[in-house]
Structure 1
Amino acid sequence: MTRIINFAPKEFYHLYNRGTEKRDIFLSPNDYERFAALLYICNQLSPAILRIQGKTLSELIKIKQEENLVEIVTYCLMPNHIHLLVRASQENGISKFMQKLMTGYTMYFNKKYERAGALFQGKFKATHVSEDRYLNYLISYIHLNPIKLIEPEWKEIGISDLSRAEKYLDRYKYSSYLDYQDQERIEKNIINKNSLPKYFKSKLDFKKTIIEWLGYPHTRSNLV
C-alpha cells in the first residue's frame, strides 16, 4: 500500500505498525528490550548499526548518539503492535529511521526464532498531528494503550477500575509513560521531551490523561 503523506521537518507524526497477520512481535522481555535499544541506536544519521549482540539495554543506550533522525516524544510497545509519536528532525528523517528500526528488529527476531520473511504488516502507518489538542490526545492515547491488556474493551465501554488501571500502567515497562512520571531509568534517553510545546507539563497526571482521552472527539476506527 502506498503511503500518501509527505513528512515535513519539525512536524509531529503518529507512527504505528503491527505484526503480519496480527501475530505477536514480542515473545519475551528481551524482545521488548531489544526494540527499545533499537529505538535509541537507530535514531542517528549513520547508516551502520553497531554490533549489539550480547550487549544489555543499559549498555546500548549509553552509547553516544550522532545527530538524530527524529525526536521521539512518546512510544508504546504492545505484544503485537507499536506506537510512536515523533517529530521530524530533518528531510526524510522519519523514513530513514523507520526503515532502520523495522529492518533491524526483523533481522533480530528472525534469527532468534529461526524464521524468515516479513515480521510487520507492510509499511508503517503515519498520521500528521496538525493541532495541539490532537497532540495532547495522542500522548494520552499512546500511553493508555497497555490498559487493553487487562481490560480489552475499555476504549468502547470505559475503564471499570481506575485504580487497577493506574497501578498497571505504573508497572508497565515497555512505554515512555514512566519517563513522564519522572521515574529514573535508562530508557529516558530514548525520548526528547524538549520537542513538546512549552506549555506541556512533563509529568503526566493519570486522571487528567484519562479525561483528556475520553474528551477528545476521536474516531476510534482509525487507531490501532
Structure 2
Amino acid sequence: MARKKRIWMPEYFYHIGSRGNRRDALFREVSDYETFLYILHHVNKASPIELASYCLMTNHFHLLMRSKYLPISKVMSLINKRYADYFNKKYDLTGHVFEKRYFDKPIGDNYGILRISQYIHLNPVEAGIVKNAENYRWSSYRYYLHSKNNRLLTMNTILDSFQGSLVEKREGYRKFVESEELRLEAESVYK
C-alpha cells in the first residue's frame, strides 16, 4: 500500500512529532539530547528552518517548525536519518530507531501557533517530569523567558503575539503558557 504524499505549504508552521520504535527511549543520555540539538542546528545551517519551539522527551520529540526552502519531509528526513545513524552506531544497534513516519500537522494561524507552542512546552509538566516547564532542560521554553538570543530558535514568531517591551512580551507568553484554562483545552485538542 502506497503512503499518502505529504503536503508542504512553505508559509505554514508545522507541529511535528516523532516517537522511538516500540516507544523505546530516543534519548538515553545527556549526550543524546545534545546530539539531536546539534543535528537540528546543522540542518538549519544547510537548509534554513524557522523553529518556533521544541521539546525533547525521553521517547519522543515535538517541533514547531516552518521551512520555506525545502519541503518539511526532506528536512525531517535529514534530521531523523542523521539521528538514527548516530543512535544505532552509539548503542551498537541495527534497524528502526523511530516507530513510524513522523507526525505533522500544518498550523494555519498565529493563535494555533501559540497553542501548539503551549502544548509542546507543557509536555514535561504533563508527563510529571517537572512541576514548572521552565525547569525542563530539553525544551525551548526557558529561552523564551530568559534569553535574548538562541541561534536555533525564531522566538519573534511567538513573542510578537504579545504587546510591549521584551520583558512584557515574555511575561505575556509565560501567562499564556501557564494558563490553566488554556492548558485543559489544549490537552483535549492535541492528545
Structure-1-length-normalised TM-score: 0.72
| Aligned residue in 1 for 2:115 | 137
Structure 1: any 5+ residue segments left out of the alignment?
46-66, 152-163
Residues 160-171 of structure 1: matches in 2 within 5 Å?
165-166=131-132, 169-171=133-135
8 Å contact kept, 2:44–2:152:
no
| Aligned residue in 2 for 1:156 | none
Structure 2: any 5+ residue segments left out of the alignment?
164-168
| Aligned residue in 2 for 1:32 | 33
SS of residue paired to 1:98: helix
| Aligned residue in 2 for 1:49 | none
Match of 1:214 among 167, 180, 183: 183
Per mean C-alpha deviation after superposition, the further-off stretch among 169-178 and 194-203 is 194-203
The CA RMSD over aligned residues, in Å, is: 2.5
| Aligned residue in 2 for 1:110 | 88
8 Å contact kept, 1:15–1:126:
yes
Q: CA deviation at 1:33?
A: 0.6
| Aligned residue in 2 for 1:159 | none
2:64 is aligned with 1:82: no
Q: 1:193 to 1:39 in 2, by over 3 A?
A: same
- What does the per-residue CA deviation read over 1:78-127, in whole Å, with 9 as the maximum and x for residues that have no partner? 000000001222242x2221111101111111111110011001111100
SS of residue paired to 1:84: strand
SS of residue paired to 1:138: helix
8 Å contact kept, 1:87–1:195:
no
Q: CA deviation at 1:214?
A: 2.6
Residues 61-100 of structure 1: matches in 2 within 5 Å?
68=48, 70-92=49-71, 94-100=72-78
Displaced runs of 4+ in structure 1, greater than 6 A?
none
Q: Given residue 106 of structure 2, which amino acid in structure 1 is its aligned partner? A: H
| Aligned residue in 2 for 1:121 | 99
Q: CA deviation at 1:175?
A: 0.9
- What does the per-residue CA deviation read over 1:18-59, in whole Å, with 9 as the maximum and x for residues that have no partner? 0011111100111111101111111244xxxxxxxxxxxxxx
CA distance in 2, matches of 1:2, 1:197: 37
Q: CA deviation at 1:210?
A: 2.6
Structure richer in helix, relative to its length: 2
Q: 1:203 to 1:2 in 2, by over 3 A?
A: farther
| Aligned residue in 2 for 1:193 | 155
- What does the per-residue CA deviation read over 1:58-78, in whole Å, with 9 as the maximum and x for residues that have no partner? xxxxxxxxx51x211100000
Q: CA deviation at 1:134?
A: 1.6
8 Å contact kept, 1:25–1:80:
yes
Q: Given residue 76 of structure 1, which amino acid in structure 2 is its aligned partner? A: C
| Aligned residue in 2 for 1:148 | 126
Q: 1:193 to 1:6 in 2, by over 3 A?
A: same
CA distance in 1, matches of 2:42, 2:153: 12
Q: 1:85 to 1:197 in 2, by over 3 A?
A: same
